[in-house]
Structure 1
């Protein structure tokens, strides 16, 4: 069975990537850290296996910035788009959901730091595909 392939890029196209595999844990995050970096009320993250990531753009890899001792984030050095996050020791990477060229089937199943989200923000989450389903009657 062939692995699912998705592509993504920054606003100007200098940083581009391809990821293979099934998208994992699409979720919003509204922590103070994310809202300051993005300038928005939440960031949509989508996980993929690290070994399925290939940088394809003319800029090759993004500029890396360590935002925590165990976390680095990749930004385009030309347009500043936040594209990726990698935690130390993890075999997963998280790409920003809207850096993906096609967001088909990418619906957040969780919302981290919902209690600190903007009070006017209302989010309807998709059902978690990993959750047990009720038995048919």
Structure 2
């Protein structure tokens, strides 16, 4: 069985995901842009994995956008995105909160009709290994 570990930025919340991910979507919808502050969200999905909180479960807060299925779980101290489970036991894990490597490549980009216009030019931007001087 595959085991992944993750945590929030401040280290208060720690968790593990036991099982395999079914898909890995880069979502460009406006909700995901707003809740990540970026061009897209990068979320792993599993219908069979089990989410276990190892530390800091009381620091996990969630927000569901009224009238939608859009949900975000986060650390109430540092604001880091954290996994969530919906009522159908679907586990959604923001890829960036994992401390272990994920071998799976993104399955697809979704809601691309809402893509931020500037995100198409990201590939043309210069690259630096750290903060540019």
- The reply to whether TM is greater than 0.5 is yes
Alpha carbons of 1:22 and 1:51: their partners in 2 closer, same or farther (altered >3 Å)? Answer: closer
Partner of 1:60: 57
- Residue among 4, 14, 19 paired with 2:17: 19
Question: Map of 1:1-137 to 2, 5 A cutoff?
Answer: 3-49=1-47, 52-57=50-55, 59-61=56-58, 62-69=60-67, 70-87=69-86, 89-122=87-120
Report Cα offsets for 1:55-83 as digits up to 9, x if no partner. 012x1241122224545431101000121
Greater per-residue helix proportion: 2
| Residue 71 to residue 19, structure 1, CA distance change in 2 (3 Å) | same
Which residue of the partner structure matches residue 129 of structure 1?
Answer: none
RMSD: 2.2
Task: Report how far residue 106 of structure 1 moved.
Answer: 3.0
TM-score scaled by structure 2? 0.78
Instruction: Check the 8 A contact 1:20/1:48 in 2, yes or no.
Output: no
Measured in 1, the distance between the counterparts of 2:15 and 2:83 equals 10
Tell me which stretches of 4 or more aligned residues in structure 1 moved more than 6 Å. Answer: none
Alpha-carbon distance in 2 for matches of 1:20, 1:86: 13
Shift of 1:51: 5.8
- Report the Cα distance in structure 1 between the residues aligned to 2:31 and 2:64, rounded to whole angstroms: 12
**Distance in structure 2 (CA, Å) of the matches to 1:113 and 1:51:** 25
TM-score normalized by the length of structure 1: 0.76
Structure 1: unaligned runs, 5 residues or longer: 124-137
Report the CA distance between 1:112 and its aligned residue.
1.3
Q: How many residues align?
A: 120
**Match in the other structure for 2:131:** none
